[in-house]
Amino acid sequence: MSGMTLLVSDPDRYHDVYSNGFARIAMKETVLQEISQYFDEHVMTKLTGAFPAEDQFNLLGVGVGEGHHEQHFLKTLGSHFSSIMNVAVDRNEHLLESFKINACGSTPDEKSHRDMQWFNGTLQQFFDESPLANCKYNLISAIYSMHHVGDIETTFTRLASMVKDNGVIIIVLSESTLVEETLLQNTWLPASYGTHEKLTKEKVITFAKQRGYTIDVRKMNIKWDLTDLFEEKSELGDKLVDSLTSVAHFRRTVPAEKLNELISFWRSFCSNGEDGRLYAPADDVIITAST
């Protein structure tokens, strides 16, 4: 269908949709708290037991966005490791710039020296163009970004080759059928997965185990409040529609019958909360792979 623009091709709209739209229903504070607690209690135990505090610690963040999770990782790592090189990769310049500003404005632990490196581009471009792709990392994080990488087997194999012995890969996935099924079942959408299989935790776990990794999985109980999605004149609803379809200004550019089909489709995934709002499960999971 002509006239549709991929959301990632409109950086300003992309930033607006996720910062002022999806962020309002994604329970970011709860997600940040759960991931941070898991990192502090489980991942740090592995890392501090495997690597000397005086060695340089290398952290690679894939699809970091504004870097909220990576900033917590840096703070916790900085309380133990004396030197950290942080490499942040994201295709969205606005989000990466926000990470830069926040990172520069924070006060790291005095015992930790930070070397911050930035790469604005896709993960594949990072692999192809950056000398930092030849480094070995103690920790690689991919928080809600693995569904953007395409071939998960090839990508995971490449990332695994970049991890030091005894290093850790931490991946956070949202298995929400609402997002996945929207792209799987509507092949007319430009970002549609078409005949490709959706990314699931089972697929990631299988690939990781085949490569000799020990896997730990933690499920988060997160629900999205999608009430505004079904309100025709809601500005937040417009942004939610864009985030679910990966199309910029979807309601302005797509025929009404197509929009109505999707509205009915999305409604079938929602349930009524005690507060009268409409909620859909996100099914978010934390996966750690370690050798």
pLDDT at 261: 95
Tell me how far apart the alpha carbons of residues 226 and 237 are, in angstroms, rounded to a whole number: 8
pLDDT at 195: 40
Tell me if 80 is assigned to some domain. yes
Q: What are the residues whose beta carbons fall under 8 Å from the beta carbon of 144, sequence distance 6 or more?
A: 63, 65, 172, 173, 174
Q: Tokens for 74?
A: 């840096």
Residue with tokens 């970011």: 28
**Residue 69 counted as domain residue:** yes
The pLDDT of 203-228, averaged and rounded, is: 89
pLDDT at 229: 96
Mean pLDDT along residues 217-228: 90
Cβ proximity of 59 and 74 under 8 Å: yes
Give the pLDDT of residue 26.
79
Instruction: Tell me the mean pLDDT in the region 212-238.
Output: 92
Q: What would the mean pLDDT of 147-151 be, rounded to a whole number?
A: 68
The rounded mean pLDDT for the chain is 89
pLDDT on residue 85 = 96
Between CA 152 and CA 155 the distance in angstroms is 5
CATH number reported for the structural domain that contains residue 239 in this entry: 3.40.50.150
Asked whether residue 2 is assigned to any structural domain, the reply reads no
1-15, 61-75, 105-119: which is most confident: 61-75
Radius of gyration of the chain (CA): 19
Number of domains in the chain: 1
Say if CB 55 and CB 85 are below 8 A apart. no
**pLDDT at position 180:** 77
Q: Which of 120-124, 155-159, 272-276 has the lowest mean pLDDT?
A: 155-159
Could you tell me the residue range of the domain that residue 198 belongs to?
A: 7-290
Q: Is residue 90 part of a domain?
A: yes
The pLDDT value recorded for residue 3 is 82
In this model, does residue 74 exceed pLDDT 90?
yes
Instruction: Please determine, for residue 105, whether its predicted confidence score (pLDDT) is greater than 80.
Output: no
In a domain, 1, yes or no: no
Q: What is the pLDDT of residues 54-73, one digit of tens each?
A: 999 999 999 998 899 999 99
